[in-house]
């Protein structure tokens, strides 16, 4: 597990409540886990010509293409 | 690279992180068992084949597609993607609820039920198939569907294994692949058949003006007498090996339902290929037709109604061998009389293969015929 630091930020109350609700609806353990997930997605994901994916996703795609002999 | 239909490639496959939590949650939700064809729709939606659709259609999109051949936001779309259910199956389910779509008892996807609505199957047949004749295979399937429709976004939890899964690529995969190959123009070819010389001619005519060719066999339900999917792949592999330059062809399977909706389906096939990253699409004469329900050029004419499709259709005439020209030609480039023209008939070819004969070379490459005949039984029963 990567080292973590504690940050204290204020966000609008209604946004917080929405996030809590969304975290519950999507089955996350707690709000903290959900916010980390959302931020990770934002940082890692790029929208390239309409293809929204993370570096990791792209690597997985290339791995499969290699395994199936489509690329060297 | 051409942008997906609607601008963004849809991905409704849940991430590893969310998957376990959602699977746990799914146990508590109402369950609906879906057919194999709806399972294929779910996979196509989740993997962006049907971008911009993120789920099964709500009534507004359904009605627009039925009568205007466009989604409610005016984007071209010609075949409704709908989920049919029996009233008893959704007893107690309200709009706004989440449900689980199951196949063979296995949870496949979570669906947010946005709308429950009725439909008129006969009207569906009239609009989509231009006939209400139950002998039309698409119409027959429509009449067998259930009484209510539910619309809503889906999230895919589990993939289903397929015997040819290693032959199937999804849109994100062909897009990454085309980028790796540095192809800018890609022409897609739809097929459900083993290749004869006419197919090869059409593909090569198109390839002359494009960077790459995507040979895209449709994998799915077949009728008795059709060539088996694995036979089609093997036949194409042989053709590519002996008769295509290296690195200009990608052969990949497309897991998608076939409707036999003729002209409407030709548009649908083009839109789907755009999502796979193709810039051009070869539209056959009587594309996706069946029997004599559609005129031979209807599937070409319909494209005039869609100048905003975002993929260029290529209408290449039926080819034949001309003894005077001394090669494969078509109506547009050969001036000779009918007596010099030898047409390749799929029916005749099938008969020869059934009798385990090698067809003449002007019909089929001998290597391809040998590959097909290596299979004890190349046909579906
Ligand atoms: Zn001629």
pLDDT digits (tens, 9 = 90+) for B295-318: 989 999 999 999 999 999 999 888
Nearest CB partner across the interface for A50, out of B3, B17, B21: B3
Measured between beta carbons, which residues in chain B are less than 8 angstroms from residue A37? 17-18
Supply B246's token pair.
């290296």
Instruction: Identify whether the C-beta of residue B114 lies closer than 8 Å to the C-beta of residue B174.
Output: no
Please give, rounded to a whole number of angstroms, the shortest distance from the CA of A8 to a CA of chain B.
Answer: 25
Nearest C-alpha in B relative to A49: B3
Instruction: Identify whether the C-beta of residue B377 lies closer than 8 Å to the C-beta of residue B352.
Output: no
Q: Does the distance separating the beta carbons of A29 and B172 come in below 8 Å?
A: no
Which single residue is written with the structure tokens 């869609």? B306
Beta bridge partners of B254: B218
The candidate with the shortest Cα–Cα distance to B299, out of B213, B137, B190, is: B190
The structure's pTM equals: 0.90
Q: Does the distance separating the beta carbons of A26 and B22 come in below 8 Å?
A: yes
Lowest mean pLDDT among A3-12, A55-64, B129-138, B233-242: A3-12
Catalytic hit among B102, B126, B192, B317: B192
Q: Who wins on pLDDT, B74 or B331?
A: B74
CA distances to B262, B336, B381 from B137, in Å: 12, 38, 17
CA distances to A8, A23, A31, B111 from A37, in Å: 18, 10, 10, 22
E strands of chain B, at which residues? 31-33, 55-56, 83-85, 98-103, 106-112, 115-118, 148-156, 186-191, 212-219, 249-251, 254-255, 280-283, 312-315, 319-322, 327-330, 341-342
Nearest C-alpha in A relative to B173: A61
What is the whole-number distance in angstroms between the Cα of residue B254 and the centre of ligand 1? 36
Catalytic hit among B193, B228, B285, B330: B193
pLDDT digits (tens, 9 = 90+) for A4-53: 888 888 999 999 998 888 888 777 878 888 888 888 777 666 667 778 78
Residue B7 has pLDDT above 80, yes or no: yes
What is the whole-number distance in angstroms between the Cα of residue B160 and the centre of ligand 1? 50
Instruction: Identify whether the C-beta of residue B188 lies closer than 8 Å to the C-beta of residue B262.
Output: no
Residue B15: the pLDDT is 87
Listed in sequence order, the DSSP H helices in A12-54 are: 13-25, 31-44
Supply B129's token pair.
């198939």
Instruction: Identify whether the C-beta of residue B9 lies closer than 8 Å to the C-beta of residue A50.
Output: yes
Instruction: Identify whether the C-beta of residue B216 lies closer than 8 Å to the C-beta of residue B189.
Output: yes
Please, which pLDDT band fits residue B224 given cuts at 50, 70 and 90?
confident
CA of residue B128 relative to chain centroid, distance: 16
Residue A50: the pLDDT is 78
Q: Is B193 a catalytic residue?
A: yes
Instruction: Identify whether the C-beta of residue B39 lies closer than 8 Å to the C-beta of residue B160.
Output: yes
Beta bridge partners of B214: B188, B250
Q: Does the distance separating the beta carbons of A52 and B8 come in below 8 Å?
A: yes
Nearest CB partner across the interface for A65, out of B4, B22, B173: B173
Supply B160's token pair.
């289903």
Q: Say how far apart CA B346 and CA B318 lie, in whole Å.
A: 12
Q: Say how far apart CA B173 and CA B48 lie, in whole Å.
A: 11
The interface pTM score, or ipTM, of the predicted complex is 0.91
pLDDT digits (tens, 9 = 90+) for B172-201: 999 999 999 999 999 999 999 999 999 999
Residue B286: the pLDDT is 81
Label the pairing between strands A51-54 and A45-48.
antiparallel
Q: Is B350 a catalytic residue?
A: no
Please, which pLDDT band fits residue B228 given cuts at 50, 70 and 90?
very high
The candidate with the shortest Cα–Cα distance to B274, out of B166, B202, B190, is: B190
Q: Say how far apart CA B33 and CA A16 lie, in whole Å.
A: 37
Between positions 119 and 178 of B, the ones with CB within 8 A of A are: 166, 169, 172-173, 175-177
Residue A47: the pLDDT is 67
Average pLDDT over residues B61-90: 98
Residue A1: the pLDDT is 55
Q: Say how far apart CA B368 and CA B194 lie, in whole Å.
A: 9
CB distance from B11 to chain A under 8 Å? yes
Neighbouring C-beta atoms of residue B73, cutoff 10 Å: 11
Residue B376 has pLDDT above 70, yes or no: yes
Measured between beta carbons, which residues in chain B are less than 8 angstroms from residue A57? 172
């Amino acid at each position: 597990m990567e080292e973590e630091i504690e940050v204290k930020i204020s966000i609008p109350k209604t946004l917080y409540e929405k996030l809590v609700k969304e975290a519950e609806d999507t089955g996350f353990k707690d709000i903290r886990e959900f916010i980390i997930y959302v931020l990770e997605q934002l940082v890692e994901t790029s929208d390239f010509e309409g293809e929204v994916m993370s570096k990791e996703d792209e690597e997985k795609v290339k791995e499969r293409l290699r395994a199936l002999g489509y690329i060297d | 690279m051409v942008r997906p239909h609607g601008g963004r490639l849809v991905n409704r496959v849940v991430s590893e992180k969310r998957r376990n939590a959602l699977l746990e949650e799914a146990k508590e939700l109402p369950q609906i068992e879906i057919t194999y064809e709806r399972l294929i729709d779910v996979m196509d939606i989740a993997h962006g084949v049907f971008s911009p659709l993120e789920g099964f259609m709500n009534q507004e999109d359904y009605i627009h597609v039925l009568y205007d051949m466009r989604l409610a936001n005016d984007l071209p779309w010609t075949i409704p993607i709908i989920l049919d259910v029996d009233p008893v199956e959704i007893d107690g389910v309200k709009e706004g609820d989440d449900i689980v779509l199951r196949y063979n008892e296995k949870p496949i996807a979570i669906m947010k039920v946005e709308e429950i609505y009725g439909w008129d199957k006969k009207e569906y047949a009239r609009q989509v198939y231009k006939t209400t004749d139950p002998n039309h295979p698409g119409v027959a399937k429509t009449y067998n569907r259930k009484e209510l429709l539910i619309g809503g976004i889906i999230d895919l939890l589990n993939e289903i294994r397929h015997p040819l899964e290693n032959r199937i690529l999804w849109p994100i995969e062909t897009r990454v692949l085309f980028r790796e190959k540095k192809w800018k123009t890609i022409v897609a070819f739809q097929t459900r058949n083993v290749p004869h010389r006419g197919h090869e001619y059409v593909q090569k005519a198109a390839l002359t003006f494009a960077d790459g060719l995507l040979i895209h066999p449709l994998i799915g339900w077949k009728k008795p007498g059709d060539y088996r999917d694995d036979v089609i792949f093997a036949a194409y592999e042989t053709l590519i090996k002996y008769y295509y330059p290296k690195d200009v062809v990608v052969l990949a399977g497309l897991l998608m339902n076939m409707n036999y909706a003729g002209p409407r389906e030709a548009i649908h096939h083009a839109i789907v290929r755009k999502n796979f990253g193709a810039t051009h699409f070869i539209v056959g004469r009587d594309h996706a037709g069946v029997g004599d329900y559609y005129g031979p050029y209807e599937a070409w004419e319909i494209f005039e109604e869609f100048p905003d499709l975002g993929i260029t259709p290529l209408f290449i005439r039926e080819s034949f061998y001309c003894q005077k020209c001394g090669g494969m030609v078509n109506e547009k480039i050969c001036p000779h009389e009918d007596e010099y023209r030898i047409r390749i008939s799929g029916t005749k070819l099938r008969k020869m293969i059934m009798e385990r004969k090698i067809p003449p070379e002007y019909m089929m490459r001998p290597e391809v015929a040998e590959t097909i005949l290596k299979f004890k039984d190349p046909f579906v029963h």
